């Protein structure tokens, strides 16, 4: 089952700057890394990362290819994209985040930027009004499965919770 995973990219500290530099601006592998990072291919991709810690590593290992990342900052959703690969790599961390501690790498299809209220998702998952995303959060999988069963695709669910009139052609991304 593909699942929804939330990541915090708060405007406070490094997270939002990292989001704007590595997620909001999709890129390709530069030629000097092509051989080492051939698993990425030549397509455009966005990159997110988590600081390495035992706790974060346990969470990061729950990410599957095809899961949907939903980025959150300042009490609203700011972007979403499908996960293409994960890899633990300090060199990629240095390249994109200027710090090897961000070695739990998450590669995504080019992320679609949005600015959407969180209220519909908070109501569906019955989160308290003051709840917020910190780091990485996987909403309860049983609730996810039950909620997502009411939608044809995860994109239809995102269209609803993000109040989008139309979704981009994700096959073209």
Question: For position 96, what pLDDT does the model report?
Answer: 85
**pLDDT tens digits, residue range 28-43?**
765 555 555 666 666 7
Return the SS3 of 148. helix
Domains of the chain: 4-161 (3.10.590)
| Count of residues in the chain | 173
| % of residues, the chain, pLDDT over 70 | 86
- Across 9-18, 30-39, 116-125, the highest mean pLDDT is recorded for 116-125
Helix (H) or strand (E) holding 96, with range, is helix 90-97
**pLDDT reading at 98 higher than 80:** yes
Interior CA angle at 152 toward 134 and 112, to 5°?
Answer: 45
Contact 125, 143 (CB under 8 A): yes
Give this prediction's pTM. 0.87
Strands 76-88 and 104-108: antiparallel
Give mean pLDDT, residues 59-75: 94
């Amino acid at each position: 089952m593909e699942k929804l995973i939330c990541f915090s990219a708060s405007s406070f500290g490094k997270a939002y700057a990292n989001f704007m530099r590595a997620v909001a601006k999709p890129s390709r592998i530069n030629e000097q890394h092509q051989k080492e990072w051939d698993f990425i291919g030549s397509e455009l991709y966005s990159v997110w990362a988590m600081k390495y810690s035992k706790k974060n590593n346990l969470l990061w290992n729950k990410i599957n290819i095809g899961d949907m990342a939903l980025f959150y900052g300042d009490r609203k959703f700011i972007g979403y994209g499908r996960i293409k690969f994960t890899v633990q790599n300090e060199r990629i961390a240095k390249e994109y985040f200027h710090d090897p501690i961000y070695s739990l790498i998450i590669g995504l299809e080019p992320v679609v930027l949005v600015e959407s209220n969180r209220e519909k998702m908070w109501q569906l998952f019955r989160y308290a009004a003051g709840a917020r995303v910190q780091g990485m959060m996987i909403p309860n999988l049983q609730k996810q499965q039950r909620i997502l069963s009411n939608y044809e695709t995860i994109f239809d669910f995102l269209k609803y919770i993000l109040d989008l009139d139309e979704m981009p052609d994700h096959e073209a991304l």
